[in-house]
Amino acid sequence: MTTDNLKPCCDSCGGLELIPIGIPLGTQLGASISWCSSCGLLQSFYSRRPQSRHAPSVSSNANWGNIRHGKGVRVAAIDSHLRRIIPESGPFRVIDIGSNRGDLCKWLISRNPDISITAIEPDRSITSTYADHHQITLLHGKLEEFSIEKLGNFDLVVNLHSLEHARSARSMLLMCAQLLVDNGLLLVEVPNAEIIRSEDIVEEFFIDKHSFHFDIHSLQNLFDQSELSFQYLSSTDTHNITAICSKASTESGILDEIEIDAFTGSFKPILPDEFGVYQERVLGNRNRLKSVAQRLKNLAERQSVAIWGATRLLDALVVHGGSEPNRFTVIDDYLSGHISDVHGVRVESSDILNHVEVDVVVILARSSESEIRTKARTLGARHIYSFRELFADS
């Protein structure tokens, strides 16, 4: 965001004191990250424009993106939150901003046969599986290209992993608030910038696709600026902030009927000097990946090893650890079908474990680690290691 004289300002509070804190690793867009001294928002500014269409990338650097599989992962992860909000029957109007491959739309229809959904998605190439469903009105474009009058009002506005991509996060939230009926709810999920404090981080968090990087503190400030009342949904998943809000003027309604853990403010906001510490740690950890890769190599010499998770952790192991992925069966249920191979190795669905004998499964995933572990056990895997465990021992 810029002011009229093109001086950058904070998208959330309009503050002009933006402190540059660093350059993301491997940025393709000349990104630099600034921290707002007033509200703590971390914002990317770019010196190069993106090309009109990027190739999908599973990179562990800032150029990760364009795979468009993330929403399926998240709908599964917030299933219990959705069930608390959405009735099992009766008319209920939902707008899904960035409907992607339709994972949420399909979930909503299976939940409530009377539901009506407006789905907004700019990319026509990924909407064919739900475009013609009679309960879905699909609009191609970005939210900011439509008028509130055209879209109408909704009982629930869903904004899963769109806010961080917006041209202006504040404008997007204001528009979301306008789309709500009285007592309507807004469900928002964004990546949690607190992840930069993880001891074992090897992936660049500040990717080129994200213009905004929120912690709970800066997200709460943004909700305040947008006159939305923010309630933090408790979550076991530290990689994402999942929040429910209502219009600040709402006095009663569905919020009274569901239990929401009010955010208590017991965490530390991210401060500008943490960026340097984080980046040093990423570089140091990438160096340690060489011993993780060696351990995997030793394992694969004695036994048949499947790697489950073919995105950023695998990329980091190959690029920075020197791991050779053709030694392993590579599995990724979300990626298979969208991308054929990673680092020259075919990406399989987990069905392959019904046909191929595997001694050891190595989980290269973070927020979906426990889901994968459960699935791997169901499919008969007896020896399972996570990246977390391997890294801690290296």
Contact 379, 394 (CB under 8 A): no
**Of 41 and 120, CB closest to Zn ion:** 41
**Of 92 and 214, CB closest to Zn ion:** 214
**Of 36 and 143, CB closest to Zn ion:** 36
| Cα separation values, 366 from 103, 123, 164, 184, 372, Å | 21, 27, 20, 33, 10
Stretch that binds Zn ion, among 36-44, 60-68, 172-180, 192-200 (CB under 5 A): 36-44
Q: Which two three-digit tokens encode residue 318? A: 């190959």
Closest by CA to 24, choosing from 67, 52, 63, is 63
Give the number of residues written for the chain: 394
Q: How many residues bind Zn ion (CB under 5 A)?
A: 8
39 binds Zn ion (CB under 5 A): yes
- The interface with Zn ion within residues 41-60 (CB under 5 A) comprises 41
Minimum distance from residue 147 beta carbon to Zn ion (Å): 28
In the chain, the amino acid numbered 358 is V
Contact 136, 165 (CB under 8 A): no
**Residues contacting residue 261 through CB under 8 Å, at least 6 positions apart:** 231, 232, 233, 234
**Of 39 and 365, CB closest to Zn ion:** 39
**Of 35 and 328, CB closest to Zn ion:** 35
- The interface with Zn ion within residues 309-328 (CB under 5 A) comprises none
Classify residue 330 by its DSSP letter. Answer: E
Q: Whole-angstrom Cα distance, residue 302 to residue 288?
A: 23
**Of 15 and 26, CB closest to Zn ion:** 15
**Residues contacting residue 238 through CB under 8 Å, at least 6 positions apart:** 192, 194, 195
**Of 61 and 221, CB closest to Zn ion:** 221
Beta bridge partners of 32: 45
Stretch that binds Zn ion, among 34-42, 57-65, 298-306, 315-323 (CB under 5 A): 34-42
Q: Which two three-digit tokens encode residue 196? A: 């930069």
CA 285 to chain centre: 22
**Of 22 and 26, CB closest to Zn ion:** 22
Q: Compose the 329-358 pattern: x for residues touching Zn ion by CB under 5 A, - for all others.
A: ------------------------------
Contact 40, 213 (CB under 8 A): no
253 binds Zn ion (CB under 5 A): no
Q: Whole-angstrom Cα distance, residue 117 to residue 133?
A: 10
156 binds Zn ion (CB under 5 A): no
Minimum distance from residue 342 beta carbon to Zn ion (Å): 38
38 binds Zn ion (CB under 5 A): yes
Minimum distance from residue 215 beta carbon to Zn ion (Å): 13
299 binds Zn ion (CB under 5 A): no
Minimum distance from residue 39 beta carbon to Zn ion (Å): 3
**Of 38 and 304, CB closest to Zn ion:** 38
Q: Compose the 1-20 pattern: x for residues touching Zn ion by CB under 5 A, - for all others.
A: ---------x-xx-x-----
Minimum distance from residue 157 beta carbon to Zn ion (Å): 23
Closest by CA to 225, choosing from 40, 6, 35, is 40
**Of 10 and 31, CB closest to Zn ion:** 10
Closest by CA to 172, choosing from 212, 115, 124, is 212
Minimum distance from residue 8 beta carbon to Zn ion (Å): 11
Minimum distance from residue 339 beta carbon to Zn ion (Å): 37
Single residue of 29, 36, 58, 196 touching Zn ion by CB under 5 A: 36
Closest by CA to 203, choosing from 393, 56, 360, 26, is 26
Q: Whole-angstrom Cα distance, residue 330 to residue 7?
A: 47
Q: Whole-angstrom Cα distance, residue 246 to residue 230?
A: 7
Minimum distance from residue 180 beta carbon to Zn ion (Å): 24
Q: How many CB atoms lie within 10 A of CB 52?
A: 5
Q: Which residues bind Zn ion (CB under 5 A)?
A: 10, 12-13, 15, 36, 38-39, 41
